[in-house]
Amino acid sequence: MQTLINYLEDAIQLYALDIVIALLIIILGRWVVKGIRSVFGKVLKKRGVDETLSRFMSNIVYALLMAVVFIAAIGQLGVDTTSLVAIIGAAGLAVGLALQGSLSNFASGVMIIIFKPFVAGHYVEAGGVAGTVEEVSVFTTTLRTPDNKIIILPNGQVTGGSITNYSVEQKRRIDFVFGIGYGDDIKKAKEIMTEVISSDERVLKDPAPTIGVLELADSSVNFAVRPWVKTADYWSVYWDIMERMKLRFDEEGISIPFPQTDVHLFQQNN
**pLDDT tens, N- to C-terminus, the chain (270 residues):** 556 565 555 555 556 667 777 788 888 888 888 888 888 878 777 776 666 667 767 777 777 788 888 877 777 776 666 666 666 666 665 555 554 556 778 788 878 877 888 888 899 999 889 999 998 887 889 999 999 999 999 988 998 889 999 999 999 999 999 999 999 999 999 999 999 999 999 999 999 999 999 999 988 999 999 999 999 999 999 999 999 999 999 999 999 887 766 677 777 765
Neighbour count for residue 85 (Cβ, 10 Å) = 14
| pLDDT score, position 91 | 60
| Helices 81-98 & 51-76 angle (0-180, nearest 10) | 150
Task: Tell if the pTM clears 0.85, that is, is over it.
Answer: no
- Cα–chain center distance at 97: 25
User: Cα 223 to the chain's mean position, in Å?
Assistant: 36
Position 49 scores a pLDDT of 65
Q: Which CATH number applies to 171-252: 2.60.110.10, 3.40.225.10, 3.40.50.970, 3.30.70.100? A: 3.30.70.100
Exposure string of 183-204, with b = 16+ CB inside 10 Å and e = fewer, is ebeeeebbebbeebbeebeebb
- Note the pLDDT of residue 160: 86
Q: Which pLDDT value is given to residue 73?
A: 76
Q: Would you kindly state where each structural domain of the chain is located, as residue ranges?
A: 2-98, 115-165, 171-252
Helices vs. strands in the chain: H and E counts, helices first: 7, 10
Type and span of the H or E element at 91: helix 81-98
- Are the C-beta atoms of residues 200 and 237 closer than 8 Å to each other? yes
CATH match for 2-98 among 3.40.50.2000, 1.10.287.1260, 2.40.40.20, 3.40.309.10: 1.10.287.1260
| DSSP three-state, residue 197 | helix
Cβ contact 150:192 at 8 Å: no
Structurally, at CATH architecture level, domain 115-165 sits in Roll (2.30)
Contacts of 103 (CB under 8 A, 6+ apart): 96
What pLDDT is recorded for position 186?
A: 94
